[in-house]
């Protein structure tokens, strides 16, 4: 099933007001954070607050992920145990660097008999994760890993590697493309990292457009003011959807039944374009079904 993931909004699990607001924000998904946005002495309170919020429900069709703490922290076992009980759509695990890390999470989920519907998302935000991106993506062939996709983490990458984050992201493009290729080779999804300068709407729009064109499925966000623009940029434009329907209709005509390539409005169109068109329509229909812009 195709699920729109244009916009996934992070919110600190310690911020009760943000958790309450989440139920009415037009993001495709919500990431309830226990990691970097929560101070060490607030971890337990945030865990309880997230558990209560997810158990209470009311998030509609929004995808709910819980970002647990990293495997080298003292909190991750309690975080994963809580997530296993309250059954979000998935958990997002920061600083995954090896297949062994994925196995540790899978084992913990299995030990607590966590529902199989809970998927695992890996943050790719260490040098080792980028270097091993293909190996990590390939681990999804073992269904026990529950791996659904990657979320790129530019801030931690920058912290560890000293590669600077710059407008246009020239410094990070090679690794971004490398990660996108790894996910697509194994049929996984990938979301872009957040844009921290949340009052810079121009810069944010440019980064969303770039993310879409690079092939990301959507972008993670840090402020509600980023949702609308992000949704608009990742929504297939009406003319693209109309063209997609035209391509499919053209291949369904009896005279084209045995043709691989046809001419449509002066352009060569092949069956691979019909495959792409079907995906565009599926995404557009899924967005419509969510009932929000
Ligand atoms: C960035 C913020 C700290 C800014 O907070 P604040 O100054 O309070 O914002 P506003 O006054 O503009 O807020 C207006 C209203 O919107 C609500 N709000 C704000 N942010 C959120 C949110 N993320 N989710 C839900 N609601 C939110 C406020 O409560 C106000 O509501 P109201 O009372 O009705 O007026 C703050 O936005 C924030 O904390 N953002 C999330 C930070 C976060 O989660 N960070 C972790 C993810 S990013 C990361 O970890 C990097 C990654 O791993 C990497 O390595 O790259
Ligand atoms: Mg990070």
* Structure token digits, residue 37: 């946005």
Does residue 220 sit in helix, strand or coil?
Answer: strand
Q: How many CB atoms neighbour CB 145 within 10 A?
A: 20
224 lines ligand 1 (CB under 6 A): yes
Alpha-helical runs (H) found in 149-200:
154-161, 173-185
For the segment 86-96, the average pLDDT, to the nearest whole number, is: 98
Beta-ladder partners of 123 = 151
Judge whether residue 139 has pLDDT over 90. Answer: yes
Dist. CA 170–CA 152, nearest whole Å: 15
Model confidence band, residue 213 (pLDDT cutoffs 50, 70, 90): very high
Q: Is 292 annotated as a binding residue?
A: no
For ligand 1, say whether the CB of 121 is within 6 Å of any of its atoms.
no
Instruction: Tell me which ligand sits closest to the C-alpha of residue 197.
Output: 1
Q: What is the average pLDDT score of the chain? A: 97
Alpha-carbon dihedral angle through residues 285, 287, 291, 293, given to the nearest 10 degrees: -130
Confidence bin at 291 (pLDDT 50/70/90): confident
Residue 279 CB: number of other CB atoms within 10 A? 12
The number of the ligand nearest the C-alpha atom of 33 reads: 1
Nearest partner of 125 among 160, 156, 171, judged by Cα: 156
Distance of alpha carbon 176 from the chain centroid = 14
- Is the pLDDT reported for residue 39 higher than 90? yes
Tokens linked to 115: 């529902």
Q: Which ligand is nearest to the CA of 154?
A: 1
ipTM value for the complex:
0.98
The verdict on the CB of residue 12 being under 6 Å from ligand 1 is yes
Q: Which atom of ligand 1 is nearest to the CA of 36?
A: 50
Rounded to whole angstroms, how far apart are CA atoms 107 and 93?
14
The pLDDT of residue 194:
98
Query: Is 156 marked within a binding site?
Result: yes
Maximum C-alpha span of the chain: 69
Does the pLDDT at position 293 exceed 80?
no
Phi, psi angle pair for 59, to nearest 5°: -95, 5
CA 165 to chain centre: 20
pLDDT at 84: 96
pLDDT at 75 over 90: yes
* Averaged pLDDT, 82-90: 97
Pocket test for ligand 1, best of 223, 226, 228, 230 (most atoms within 8 A of CB): 223
Task: Tell me what pLDDT residue 292 has.
Answer: 74
Buried b (16+ CB within 10 A) or exposed e, 184-194: eeeebbbbbbb
| pLDDT tens digits, one per residue of 161-179 | 999 999 999 999 999 999 9
Q: Ligand 1 centre from 8 Cα, in Å? A: 12
pLDDT at 102: 98
Residue whose CB lies within 8 A of the most ligand 1 atoms, among 9, 11, 69, 193, for a mutation test = 11
The DSSP letter of residue 237 is P
pTM (2 d.p.):
0.97
18 pLDDT exceeds 90? Answer: yes
Distance (Å, whole) CA 247 – CA 106: 42
Tens digits of residue pLDDT in 236-284: 999 999 999 999 999 999 999 999 999 999 999 999 999 999 999 999 9
Helix (H, G, I), strand (E, B) or coil at 164: coil
Query: What is the length of the chain?
Result: 293
Strands 90-93 and 119-124: parallel
pLDDT category of residue 1 using cuts at 50, 70 and 90: confident
Q: State the distance from the centre of ligand 2 to the C-alpha of 96, rounded, in angstroms.
A: 10
Q: Give the percent of the chain with pLDDT over 70.
A: 100
| Cα–Cα distance, 260 to 258 (Å, whole number) | 7
């Amino acid at each position: 099933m195709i699920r729109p993931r244009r916009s996934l909004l992070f919110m600190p699990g310690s911020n009760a007001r943000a958790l309450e607001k989440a139920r009415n924000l037009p993001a495709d998904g919500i990431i309830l954070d226990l990691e970097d946005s929560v101070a060490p002495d607030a971890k337990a309170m945030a865990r309880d607050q997230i558990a209560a919020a997810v158990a209470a429900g009311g998030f509609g069709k929004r995808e709910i992920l819980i970002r647990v703490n990293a495997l080298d922290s003292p909190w991750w076992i309690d975080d994963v145990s809580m997530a296993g009980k309250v059954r979000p759509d998935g958990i997002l695990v920061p600083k995954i660097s090896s297949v062994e890390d994925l196995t540790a999470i899978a084992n913990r989920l299995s030990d607590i008999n966590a529902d199989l519907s809970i998927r695992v998302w890996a943050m790719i935000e260490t040098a080792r994760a980028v270097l091993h991106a293909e190996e990590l993506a390939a681990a999804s062939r073992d269904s026990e890993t529950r791996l659904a996709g990657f979320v790129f983490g530019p801030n931690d990458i920058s912290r560890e590697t000293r590669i600077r984050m710059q407008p246009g992201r020239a410094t990070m493009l090679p690794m971004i493309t490398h990660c996108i290729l790894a996910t697509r080779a194994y049929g996984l999804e990938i979301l872009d990292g957040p844009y921290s300068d949340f009052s810079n709407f121009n810069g944010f729009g440019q980064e969303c457009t770039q993310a879409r064109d690079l092939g990301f499925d959507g972008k993670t966000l840090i402020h509600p003011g980023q949702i609308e623009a992000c949704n608009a940029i990742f929504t297939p434009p009406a003319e693209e959807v109309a063209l997609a329907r035209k391509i499919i209709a053209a291949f369904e005509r009896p005279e084209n039944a045995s043709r691989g390539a046809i001419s449509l409005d002066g352009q060569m169109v092949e069956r691979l374009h019909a495959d792409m068109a079907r995906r565009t329509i599926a995404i557009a229909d899924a967005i419509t079904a969510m009932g929000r812009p």
